[in-house]
Amino acid sequence: MISGPAAAGDGAGWREASSPPSLINPVQEFCPSSHLPFSQRRLGNHNPVQSQDDAVGFTAVDAKAAMRRKGCWGAVPSDRTAKAGAVSMLSRSSSDSKSLGKASRSALVRRHVVALLAVALVLGVPCSIRAAGPPEGQLTWAVHVTLAPTWFDPAETSGIITPYMVLYAIHDAMVKPMPGNSLAPSLAETIAVGDDKLTYEMVIRADARFHDGTPVTAEDVKFSFERYRGAQAAQIKGRVASIETPDARHVRFKLRNAWPDFLTFYASATGAGWIVPKAYVEKTGEEGFKKAPIGAGPYKFVSFNPGVELVLEAFEGYWRKMPSVKRLVLKVIPDEATRLAALKRGEVDIAYSLQGEIAEELQRTPNFKLKAPIVNGTFWLYFADQWDEKSPWHDARVRKAAIMAIDNKAINQALALGFAHITGSIVPETFDYYWTAPAPIHDPAVARKLLAEAGFPRGFDAGEYYCDVAYANLAEAVLNNLAEVGIKAKLRPLERAAFFKGYGEKSFKNLIQGASGAFGNAATRMEAFVAKGGVYVYGSYPELDELFQQQAGEVDPKKREDQLHKMQEIVHDKAIYAHLWQQAFINGVGPRVGQSGFGLIPGYAYTAPYEDVTLAGK
């Protein structure tokens, strides 16, 4: 099986919860020396100071030699190395061939294509292979949130990670995060970027099929992009001038202006690159499609009982590999203790989101494992009324008092067994262009002093505190901390779909416990949660809006990094958010599971790729 070094063993690249509470980056654990400074490892930044294996056009032999030199053969190469090898290589082939004759150009293109295929073997770029035998058996998940039919349709992706729990099973994308590569060509066999950075040409795999047996075509790709109406739809659509479909397997995106984040948005920050069958959607209608979705992913939709379970069956014609497990059942069990009991009784095989004493109990239970990958899920407290001059939150001293009232470390230890990371940022620490913020300081005495200086010596009634019900325990801990300095609020937990709907529609006030585990980079987080017009932005500041516009069109990686770092610094200084933690997503795995899929895709919270999940002994 060729699915990348990260898939070699269950949880490769991260530690189990039985280890000391200091989970580290997957690549750092296996190969610390593979990480260059961020500014030297951007997509398309081919600085001479880069190492051999970061250079464009390196071959599989070069890559293997480089990894042996670093003493990390078999480890997952850096995300940025994968991007440079799998995408920018094709970009360079065009410019390098300008001065060559026809025969030489053909030879050069052949070398680049051969090199790309070789890189796929080393970096884990998905390759089409078949499993040894037909799928068999069943695995059952205990899911911590109520599944929403809107998650069955990529067109309505809401800018959070939860829909990908379903998307990675039923659907497939032209480009998507996979083991070893956050921009892995998937339904797209190849991607070529024009010299002017305005044209992206993609070739669809010849063996890519939807579940009804029809081929994935260029018209399906164009249709899926044009019908996309989810988070940040206006941003990505507004930057695309046209989509051309020269034939059934070729798609050409033309941008209005150079945009360094096009593939990031197309692959993962939106659902625009996840492909649905045009003919089937037009036949069934939008609502009909949600009731019986057809995709091009490794698993077919069987049935959905709202509030109870989603049943999926292996699609043996999946291009990458035949799934190992015949049937997957995602069973909705919102109560944490009930999820644990079901796991211990063998009613489910994997239980999502176990915290505190529940996680400790499973940790003591023989034959069960805790999986606690550090994910892209940063959690924060949003002061939604800070732009209202009549609100106490308008005063930065009040916001800073709330930040200092929160005991992040104690909450982390109590709920996440100390495995979460306290970073002070809403941007995940592994994202491109991440700026290291000062660590939050817990000091109730200073918090009370700041409140008194702001005119609230006895504190104040802060109104309502909105949160996703799945993390109401986190909210309760924060509320207790706030109450200790005189800030009192009433908890308003909501089901996840309803919570993010209200959050995005700007219908909440007072305090919002927000979170995002979505893929992307620092720019995608700034766009969704900081810059004017963002899906979850209740107000903005002119200096941040100006910097965001500047970085969006900046093609120089170092200048762009400086701009995004400055944005994050301003967000911190203005205390727009109170950081809570970067989540360690703790899950339970039963004895019937072989490869669980946790941690294979860096930063991703759930099990994936589903086609890599196995029963024990398989």
Using pLDDT thresholds of 50, 70 and 90, give the confidence band for residue 222.
very high
CB atoms within 10 A of CB 245: 16
Query: Among candidates 505, 604, 446, 23, which has minimal Cα distance to 231?
Result: 505
In CATH, what is the architecture of 148-291? Alpha-Beta Complex (3.90)
Q: How far apart are CA 588 and CA 614, in angstroms?
A: 16
Check residue 129 and give its pLDDT: 55
Identity of the residue numbered 290: K
Q: pLDDT: is 128 or 562 the higher one? A: 562
**Phi/psi-derived region of residue 124, left when phi > 0, alpha when psi is between -120 and 50, beta in every other case:** left
Which tens digit of pLDDT belongs to each residue from 398-423?
999 999 999 999 999 999 999 999 99
pLDDT band at 127 (very low <50, low <70, confident <90, very high): low
Decide: 145 and 123 in contact? Cβ < 8 Å. Answer: no
**Average pLDDT of the residues in 98-113:** 39
Mean pLDDT estimate for the chain: 83
Indicate whether 114 pLDDT > 80: no
Residue type, 134: P
Distances (CA, A) of 380 to 403, 479, 524, 581, 606: 10, 13, 16, 7, 20
- Residue 132, CA distances (Å) to 176, 298, 316 in order: 25, 16, 12
Would you list the DSSP string of 526-563?
Answer: HHHHTSTT-TT-S---HHHHHHHHHHHT---HHHHHHH
**What are the pLDDT digits (tens) for 441-469?**
999 999 999 999 999 999 999 999 999 99
Distance between CA atoms of 80 and 280, rounded to whole angstroms? 37
Looking at the chain, the whole-number percentage of residues with pLDDT higher than 70 is 79
Confidence class for position 132, pLDDT limits 50, 70, 90: low
Cβ atoms 354, 361 nearer than 8 A:
no
CB-CB neighbours of 494 under 10 Å: 17
Please, which residues have CB within 8 angstroms of residue 287's CB and are 6 or more apart in sequence?
none
For residue 188, the cross-strand partners are 204
Name which of 120-134, 188-202, 381-395, 547-561 the model is least confident about.
Answer: 120-134
Check residue 32 and report its DSSP letter: G
- CATH 3.10.105.10-classified regions of the chain: 374-584
The residues, any chain, with a CB within 8 Å of residue 98's CB and separated by 6 or more, are: none
Mean pLDDT value of segment 103-127: 40
- List Cα–Cα distances, 397 to 156, 483, 541, in angstroms: 38, 17, 17
What pLDDT score does 106 carry? 40
**pLDDT grade for 160, boundaries at 50, 70 and 90:** confident
Tokens (6 digits) for 531? 């810059």
Q: Average pLDDT in the 174-198 region?
A: 96
Above 50 in pLDDT, residue 373?
yes
Instruction: Give the angle subtended at the CA of 47 by the CAs of 523 and 88, to the nearest 5°.
Output: 65
pLDDT tens-digit map of 24-48: 222 222 222 223 332 333 233 222 2
* Model pLDDT, residue 586: 97
Q: How confident is the model at residue 479 (pLDDT cuts 50, 70, 90)?
A: very high
Quote the pTM value.
Answer: 0.78
Q: In this predicted structure, what is the pLDDT of residue 445?
A: 98
Strands (E), 260-351: 274-275, 299-305, 309-314, 325-332, 350-351
pLDDT of 585 reads 95
How many CA atoms, within 13 angstroms, populate the side-chain half-sphere of residue 556? 5
Out of 73-77, 247-251, 312-316, which region has the weakest mean confidence (pLDDT)?
Answer: 73-77
Q: Please, are residues 425 and 579 in contact by the beta-carbon 8 Å criterion?
A: yes
Within 41-171, residue ranges assigned H as helices are: 60-69, 79-83, 89-96, 102-123, 164-170
pLDDT digits (tens, 9 = 90+) for 237-287: 999 999 999 999 999 999 999 999 999 999 999 999 999 999 999 999 999
**Model confidence band, residue 159 (pLDDT cutoffs 50, 70, 90):** confident
Q: For residue 156, which of 239, 269, 272 has the smallest C-alpha distance?
A: 272
Please check whether residue 82 is in contact with residue 267, taking contact to mean a CB–CB distance below 8 angstroms. Answer: no
What per-residue confidence (pLDDT) applies to 130?
Answer: 52
In DSSP notation, 111-149 reads HHHHHHHHHHHHHT-------SS--EEEEEEEESS---G
- For residue 106, the tally of other CB atoms under 10 A from its CB is 12
Specify the domain boundaries for CATH 3.90.76.10 within the chain: 148-291
Q: What is the CATH number of domain 374-584?
A: 3.10.105.10
What mean pLDDT comes out for the span 475-485? 98
Mean pLDDT in residue range 483-498: 97
Above pLDDT 90, what percent of the chain? 77
Distance (Å, rounded) from C-alpha 17 to C-alpha 608? 19
Tell me the per-residue pLDDT of 391-400, one tens digit each, with 9 for 90 and over. Answer: 999 999 999 9
Pairing mode of beta strands 374-383, 577-584: antiparallel
Which one of 22-36, 87-101, 318-332 scores highest in mean pLDDT?
A: 318-332
